[in-house]
Amino acid sequence: MRSSTMPAITPAYDPWEAYVDIEEYGKLELTNIEFTTTTLCNMRCEHCAVGYTLSAKDPEALPLDLLLRRLEEIPHLRSLSITGGEPMLSLKSVDQYVVPLLRYAHERGVRTQLNSNLTLDLARYERIIPYLDVLHISHNWGTIDDFVDGGFAMMERKPARAQREKYFQRMLDNAKALAKAGVLVSAETMLNKRTVRHLETIHRQVVEEMGCRRHEIHPMYPSDFASALETLSLDELRQAIHHLLDIRDENVWMLFGTLPFYPCSGNEDDLRLLKRLYESKNVTVRNDPDGRSRLNVNIFTGDVIVTDFGDEPPLGNIIHDSLPDVYDKWRRSKLASGLLCHCPAARCLGPNVLVKQTYYRDVDFTKRSARVAL
């Protein structure tokens, strides 16, 4: 794993936190790249944010050398993520792209994350352990039936039910094995009508059966397959978060992301919730890196976008554009100018694209100020 000179990833230091740019450089910088390395997946989750981009065969990918050259052009690269699809499904892709990208980042001192459903043989994951900091998994299953049904809801030809049940157990076992090997296994749970009934069960499983050192909590927003699921109202979201804070294991890091609540809110319920979050042990509220410090690169088309599940058109293409140039183009765009907000008192960077368009389309956050501070 990492040398002892690298700072540990803890609630006090999150390399994917965009506010680190403000602290280190005085402004937002391109410090985070996410690669989409596959369109393959052995599941079709009902909540999948990229479900309609999945396919039965990967296209031909761009040369690895091009990807590495583009990474070399980023002077302040701090973190690198790999997503899909299921990035570990194709051994060819693992050997030719996943391992080399993670190894490059590791050798450069860049922190690494891979998003996986953890249902494959442990041996596959053992190939990346030496280069991996964070293994990110979505866990939205209150019961094994939720996994068996919801995890394959959008698949026309499903594996036998017994096989799907085996996947669930393998997910639990693999998470524990990777955690034991020193990887920070981080389970993300989306808050929606289905999961809200099972939050305590999910949290206990994440902590006790999977050995996760971090539990990420994100409200679900309508996107791709997930547009068919019922979202929670703002009142229901507040209640769900208070419930989580009531029942959580305080020794485990709980990270909240893409929350639609801000320290400049005029709603006292928002402020009470944020104050509780800020004061709770081992709890952090992350400023979303998408559109602030991160760009997503598709290794097949070369397209560069703000987020892997966004509806905005590509900003550029790595075949002919450097990533810093694409980032500068994004920062100059009309959409970005409506999002670029910075409140030092609360270490807050305002809403991301999804939250802004869902709840705050006509709100100018630059004209508001914090009413509760860190």
Quickly list DSSP for 197-224: GGHHHHHHIIIIIS--SEEEEEE----G
pLDDT at 42 (0 to 100): 84
Residues of the chain with pLDDT under 70: 1-4, 223-228, 308-311
Q: In this structure, what token pair is assigned to residue 104?
A: 């490059």
Number of domains present in the structure of the chain? 1
Query: 14 lies in a domain?
Result: no
CA distance linking residue 79 with residue 101, whole number of Å: 12
> What are the tens digits of pLDDT across the range 131-168?
999 999 999 999 999 999 999 988 889 999 999 999 99
pLDDT at 358 (0 to 100): 82
Query: 331 lies in a domain?
Result: yes
Query: 205 lies in a domain?
Result: yes
Query: 6 lies in a domain?
Result: no
Query: 373 lies in a domain?
Result: no
pLDDT at 154 (0 to 100): 85
Can you give the pTM of this predicted structure? 0.95
Query: 280 lies in a domain?
Result: yes
Q: Strands 294-298 and 303-305, how do they pair?
A: antiparallel
CATH of the domain at 172: 3.20.20.70
pLDDT at 2 (0 to 100): 47
pLDDT at 309 (0 to 100): 55
pLDDT at 156 (0 to 100): 86
Give 3-state DSSP helix, strand, coil % of the chain, rounded to 5.
40, 15, 45
Query: 311 lies in a domain?
Result: yes
Buried b (16+ CB within 10 A) or exposed e, 43-75: bbbbbbbbbebbeeebeebbeeeebeebbeebe
Query: 139 lies in a domain?
Result: yes
pLDDT at 247 (0 to 100): 98
Structural domain boundaries enclosing 35: 19-367
Q: In this structure, what token pair is assigned to residue 186?
A: 């981080």
Residue 201: left (phi > 0), alpha (psi -120 to 50), or beta?
alpha
For the purposes of burial, counting CB atoms within 10 Å of the CB of 287, is it exposed (0-12), middle (13-18) or buried (19 or more)?
buried
pLDDT at 226 (0 to 100): 58
Q: Which of 29, 56, 24, 23 is nearest to 41 (CA)?
A: 56
